[in-house]
Amino acid sequence: MGTNASAADNNLHHCNISNARTYNVLSGIITGQFLLGLPLNLSVLYIFIFRFKFWKNKSVFLFNIVAADFLLVACLPAKVYNYQLGQRRSPNHWMCKAMLFMLFLNRGASIAFLVILSLDRYFNVVYLGRRNYVKVLKKSPEISGVIWLLLLPLTIPTMVKTFECCNSHGRDDNDIADTFREVVFFSQIIIPFIILLYCTVRIVHRLKKKTVGEKAKLRRAMCVVVAVAVIFSVCFLPCAVARAALLFVRLKEWQEAEDVVVQVYDALMVLSFMDCLLDPMVYCFCHSGFKDAYLDVFCPAFLHKKLRKAETTTTTTTTTTSAVRSLSLPMVEKLQV
Q: Specify the pTM.
A: 0.79
Q: What pLDDT sits at residue 291?
A: 81
CATH of domain 2-165+175-298: 1.20.1070.10
Answer for the pair 105, 69: CB distance below 8 angstroms, yes or no.
no
Dihedral sign from CA coordinates of 262, 264, 268, 270: positive
Task: Give the three-class secondary structure for 52.
Answer: coil
Q: Going residue by residue through the chain (337 aa), what tens digit of pLDDT does each one get?
A: 444 444 444 444 567 787 888 899 999 999 999 999 999 999 999 988 888 887 776 778 888 889 899 888 998 999 999 888 888 887 777 787 788 888 888 888 888 888 888 888 888 777 776 766 677 666 677 888 888 888 888 777 666 655 555 555 555 555 677 777 788 888 888 998 898 888 888 887 877 776 555 666 677 777 888 888 888 888 899 999 999 998 888 888 888 888 888 899 999 999 999 998 998 888 888 777 888 888 888 776 656 566 556 555 544 444 444 444 444 434 333 334 3
Answer for the pair 157, 188: CB distance below 8 angstroms, yes or no.
no
User: What residue ranges do the domains of the chain occupy?
Assistant: 2-165+175-298, 301-337
Side chain identity at residue 256, one-letter code? E
Instruction: Compute how many other C-beta atoms are within 10 angstroms of the C-beta atom of residue 272.
Output: 23
Q: What pLDDT sits at residue 14?
A: 60
Q: Give me Rg for the CA atoms of the chain.
A: 24
